[in-house]
Amino acid sequence: MARRLLALGWEVGVRDLDPAREAALVAAGARAYATPAALAAAHAVVVVAVVDAGQCDAVLFAADGLAGAMPAGACVVLCPTIGPASTESIAGRLGERGIACVDAPMSGGPARARDGTMSLMVACAEAAWSQHRGLLEALSSTIFRVGERPGDGARTKLVNNLLAAVNLAAAAEAIALAERVGLDPATTLDVIERSSGQSWIGSDRMRRALAGDLAPRAHTTLLAKDSALALAMAAEAGFDPPLGRLAAARFKAVCAAGFADLDDASLLEALRAEGG
């Protein structure tokens, strides 16, 4: 996302726990800051792109966090996949300080973030949307304005990611089955991609899996986390998604089996290791 903005000529400040990531962005034209607070003091808008609600809380509200240094009228664009209750809480705490919050979870992975084609599911007040629409449209050409209620971006993302988990688990099973019955898996995937079984995540991940490329773009832990969050949201709404439960259980088991830090394309390798 930072590289996308830099390429379009935006002034970008960065803060990351990984010094190599910071250094790479500095080399691309960004300015690094020693703490989130130092970054916040120099910018009117901060995009938060971390993993979970705990990391959001640390980045925003720790002693050297963003919120304490942002002036009234500033804005946080919240991009992680977290539960809607966490999003609502963060938006409320920021609002007490006069800081706007744009609930904008993202989907599509690093390559689509870099070229500006990832999806952003945006929920925020109309004033924040009007003021920061230019930034959001610079980040992505695929923006879905899902409403004004904080948390609706998170809800939309969890619905999407539960389906992604179901589709990916099913795609891995289908390719494992093709191998078991003596079919060429790559040819079978060719057929699926042009037939009724196609899904974007199935094609993307199974191509990598068949190439033996499990370098993590999206760690298996992420869909494990997201599917669990989606089930919690469903339970709160009094809804039981049986396929979603199976997919979530599958991701949890694959993580426990040692594939947590690999790309989630590793679901195919996990099935092979289990003998089907």
List active site positions: 157
| CA 114 – CA 56 distance, rounded (Å) | 22
Element (H, E) at 38: helix 36-42
Task: List all residues 6 or more positions away from 187 whose beta carbon is below 8 Å from its beta carbon.
Answer: none
- CA-closest candidate to residue 43, choices 79, 83, 88, 77: 77
Give Cα 182 distance to the centre of its chain. Answer: 36
Burial class (CB in 10 A: 0-12, 13-18, 19+), 58: middle
Beta-bridged to residue 46, according to DSSP, are: 76
Q: What angle do CA 84, 123, 75 make, to 5 degrees?
A: 100
Other beta carbons within 10 angstroms of residue 52's beta carbon come to 17
Q: What's the distance, Cα to Cα, between the start and end of the chain in Å? A: 38
| CA 158 – CA 31 distance, rounded (Å) | 33
